Amino acid sequence: MKLWQKLGVPAVVVGVMSAGIPQLAHAQAAIKIDGSSTVFPISEAYAEEFQIQKRGKVRVTVGVSGTGGGFKKFCRGETDMANASRPISKEEMEACRKAGIKYIEMPVAFDALTVVVNPQNTWVKTMTVADLKKMWEPAAQGRVGTWKQVRAEYPADKLMLFGPGADSGTFDYFTEAVMGKAKSSRGDYTASEDDNTLVQGVENNKNAIGYFGFAYYAAHKDKMRAVSIDGGKGPVAPSVENVINGTYSPLSRPLFVYVKEASMGRAEVREFVQFMMTQGADLVSEVGYVPLPKNAYALAWKHFNDKKLGTVFGGVPQVGITIDQLLSMEAKL
C-alpha cells in the first residue's frame, strides 16, 4: 500500500506526487488519465512504477473526476485514458460517437464494493440488500433519519450517511445493485467524489455508514468495520476470496481503463498499456483489489493489438457479474 493511501492524502494529480522521478530538461512524452476514484489507486501504482522504469522520459498524470466526470473529459478528447468503476453508458457512448472518439475497453481488476460502519457501532453485524435500500432509496429522504427506522432492534440514534457523488461510477453501480436503477438515491447524505473524505466521515462518526471501493477499506480497516451483505443467500463478507469465488454478490464488480484509439499509436501509450497488461497484476493486489487471471490480461493485450474497439456491455449496466462471466464476454469481442 502506498504511503499516501495509508495517510489518507487526498487523491490529486499523480504526476507531481511520484517521488524519485527526475524532471529532465528535454520535453517529456505525456499520458493523461482521469476518472474513477475507485480505480485511481491502481492507475497511481501503474503510473509511479512505469515512470520509474522510463527514467523520467514519460510523465503520466492521473486525475480524479469520478467515472462520469472522467468520461466527459475522455469524450471531449481531453485525455488519453478514462478510469471507470462501471462500463461506459449509452449516453457516454453517444457523446464519444458524436465527438469522433473511438476507444478500447480494458478490464484491469475486480472490486468488492464495501459497506462500512464506525468501529463503535455495536448493533450492525450484517445487512440485507433490502436494509440498504430502505436507508438509501429516494423515498427515505426526510423519512428515514435514525437507525431504528431501518430495523426495530437498532438504536434510535441519528443515521449518518456517507457516499460517492453523482459523477461516481460507484454511486451508479451501488444504486443499480440496491435500488434497481442507476442514480436512484436519496440526496440528503454527505457526498464526495474523493473516497478519502468518505473514509474520514465514517472514521469520525459513531453513527456513520458509507460505501466505497475495497481498497479504501483495506487501507483503513483498523479504523472502520466492513459489513457482511446478504444478497439472498446469506451474509457474505467483502474479501478477495469471496470476489474470486463469486459469492460476494451483488456488490462485486469489474474495474476498467478505456484507451482512446487516437492515442493507441503513440509509443508511450502502447508501452504503458503493455506494462499494465504484463506487469500490473501485482500492483492491483498491492493496492487492495483483485487482479484478473493472467489469460484475461493476455486477451486484453491481444484486443489492443488487434484494435478490437468498443465495449462488450453495449451501454447496459451489469450487476453481480463474476470474473468468469466477464472473461466469457470479453472472449466474444
**Is the separation of the CB atoms in 199 and 220 below 8 Å?**
yes
- Amino acid found at 208: A
Q: Give the per-residue pLDDT at 26.
A: 54
Summary mean pLDDT of the chain = 92
Confidence of residue 19 (pLDDT cuts 50, 70, 90): very low
Alpha helices per DSSP H over the chain: 3-7, 40-53, 66-75, 90-99, 129-136, 169-179, 195-203, 214-218, 240-244, 261-264, 267-279, 281-287, 294-305, 323-331
pLDDT average, residue stretch 221-230: 96
Query: Residue 20 pLDDT > 80, yes or no?
Result: no
pLDDT average, residue stretch 289-302: 96
Share of the chain above pLDDT 70, in %: 92
Q: What is the DSSP pairing of strand 235-236 with strand 228-230? A: antiparallel
**Is the separation of the CB atoms in 331 and 299 below 8 Å?**
yes
CA–CA separation, 110 and 207 (whole Å):
29
Query: Residue 4 pLDDT > 90, yes or no?
Result: no
Query: Residue 171 pLDDT > 80, yes or no?
Result: yes
Confidence of residue 293 (pLDDT cuts 50, 70, 90): very high
Q: Give the per-residue pLDDT at 316.
A: 87
Confidence of residue 2 (pLDDT cuts 50, 70, 90): very low
- Amino acid found at 231: G
Burial 228-262 (b: 16+ CB within 10 A, else e): bbbbeeeebebbbebbbeebbbbbbbbbbbbbbee
Tell me the sheet residues that pair with 229. Answer: 127, 236
CA–chain centroid gap for 232, Å, is: 24
CA angle 194, 199, 205 (to 5 degrees): 130
pTM given for the model: 0.89
CA–chain centroid gap for 77, Å, is: 22
Nearest to 107 by CA among 290, 281, 296: 296
pLDDT average, residue stretch 163-167: 93
CA atoms within 13 A on the CB side of 162: 26
Cα dihedral angle (256, 300, 250, 207), rounded to 10 degrees?
-30
pLDDT average, residue stretch 178-190: 95
pLDDT average, residue stretch 99-118: 98
pLDDT average, residue stretch 23-40: 83
CA–CA separation, 111 and 279 (whole Å):
19
CA angle 260, 261, 264 (to 5 degrees): 90
The 10s digit of each residue's pLDDT in 110-162 is 999 999 999 999 999 999 999 999 999 999 999 999 999 999 999 999 999 99
pLDDT average, residue stretch 68-89: 97
Confidence of residue 75 (pLDDT cuts 50, 70, 90): very high
pLDDT average, residue stretch 259-272: 98
- Amino acid found at 265: G
Query: Residue 29 pLDDT > 60, yes or no?
Result: yes
pLDDT average, residue stretch 269-292: 97
Share of the chain above pLDDT 90, in %: 87
- Amino acid found at 28: Q
Query: Residue 24 pLDDT > 60, yes or no?
Result: no
CA–chain centroid gap for 116, Å, is: 16
Query: Residue 23 pLDDT > 80, yes or no?
Result: no
Classified as helix, coil or strand, 52 is helix
Q: Find cell 440498504 and name the residue.
A: 132
